A and B are shown apart, each in its own frame.
Chain A
Amino acid sequence: MAALLKIDLSSTVPAYQQIVDALRALMVTGTLRAGELLPPVRQLGLDLGIHFNTVAQSYRILAEEGWLDLRRRRGALILDRQTPIVQNEAKLDQLRLRIGQIASQLQAEGLSAGEVASELRQLAEGMDK
Chain B
Amino acid sequence: MNTESLMMILPAALVGILMHALPLLSRREIFFGVTVDPSFVPSQEARRILFRYRVPVWVASLATLVLLWIGISRHLNFLVIASLFAPVVVSFIAWARAHKQVLPHALPASTVRVASLSTREEPFPGGVLFAIGPVLLLLGAACILYLRSSRGAYAPILVGLCTVVVILLQCYWMLRRARQVRTQGAAAANERTFKRVTVWVLLAAAYGIAIVNARNSLWPLAGVSLEPLLRFLPIAVMAALVLILVRIGQGGSRLPGGGGTDDQRGDATPDACWKWGQLYYNPDDPALLVEKRMGIGWTLNFAHRGSWLILAAAVTLPLLPRLLR
Chain A contact-residue range equals: 20 to 34
How far does the Cβ of A81 sit from chain B's closest Cβ, in whole Å?
A: 17
Given the interface contacts A4-B114, A6-B113, A50-B113, does A43 sit within 8 Å of B268 by beta carbon? Answer: no
Chain B: how many interface residues by the 8 Å CB criterion?
A: 24
Do A4 and B116 touch (CB < 8 A)?
yes
B interface, over-half SS: loop
How far does the Cβ of B189 sit from chain A's closest Cβ, in whole Å?
A: 12
Interface flag for B127 (CB, 8 Å):
no
A-contacting residues, B107-153, CB 8 Å: 111-120
How distant is the Cα of A43 from the Cα of B115 in the complex, in angstroms?
Answer: 9
Interface flag for A10 (CB, 8 Å):
yes
How distant is the Cα of A3 from the Cα of B183 in the complex, in angstroms?
Answer: 9
Using CB atoms, name the residue of chain B closest to A44: B115
- The interface residues of chain A lying within 8 Å CB-to-CB of B111 are 8-11
Do B119 and A43 touch (CB < 8 A)?
yes
Report how many A-B pairs have Cβ atoms within 8 Å. Answer: 81
Using CB atoms, name the residue of chain A closest to B287: A46
How far does the Cβ of B223 sit from chain A's closest Cβ, in whole Å?
A: 50
Selected from B119, B177, B180, the residue in CB contact (under 8 A) with A37 is B119
Interface flag for B101 (CB, 8 Å):
no
- The interface residues of chain A lying within 8 Å CB-to-CB of B177 are 42, 46
A interface, over-half SS: mixed
Selected from A5, A46, A51, the residue in CB contact (under 8 A) with B117 is A5
- The interface residues of chain B lying within 8 Å CB-to-CB of A6 are 112-114, 263
Given the interface contacts A2-B184, A4-B262, A42-B177, does A48 sit within 8 Å of B120 by beta carbon? Answer: no
| Interface bits B162-197 vs A (CB < 8 Å: 1, else 0) | 000000000000000111100110000000000000
Do A46 and B286 touch (CB < 8 A)?
yes
How far does the Cβ of B300 sit from chain A's closest Cβ, in whole Å?
A: 15
How distant is the Cα of A3 from the Cα of B113 in the complex, in angstroms?
Answer: 14
| Interface bits B74-89 vs A (CB < 8 Å: 1, else 0) | 0000000000000000
Binding site for B on A (CB under 8 A): 1-11, 26, 32, 37-40, 42-52, 75
Show 17 residue pairs from A and B whose CB-CB distance is below 8 angstroms, ordered by the A residue. A2-B183, A4-B115, A4-B116, A4-B262, A7-B113, A9-B111, A38-B117, A39-B115, A44-B115, A45-B286, A47-B113, A47-B115, A48-B115, A49-B269, A49-B286, A50-B113, A50-B284
Apart from A2-B184, A9-B113, A49-B268, what 16 extra A-B contacts exist at CB < 8 Å?
Answer: A2-B183, A4-B114, A6-B112, A6-B113, A6-B114, A7-B112, A8-B111, A37-B119, A39-B115, A39-B119, A39-B120, A43-B119, A46-B287, A49-B113, A49-B286, A50-B113
**7 residue pairs, one from A and one from B, having the closest CB atoms:** A47-B115, A2-B118, A10-B111, A9-B111, A3-B117, A48-B113, A2-B116
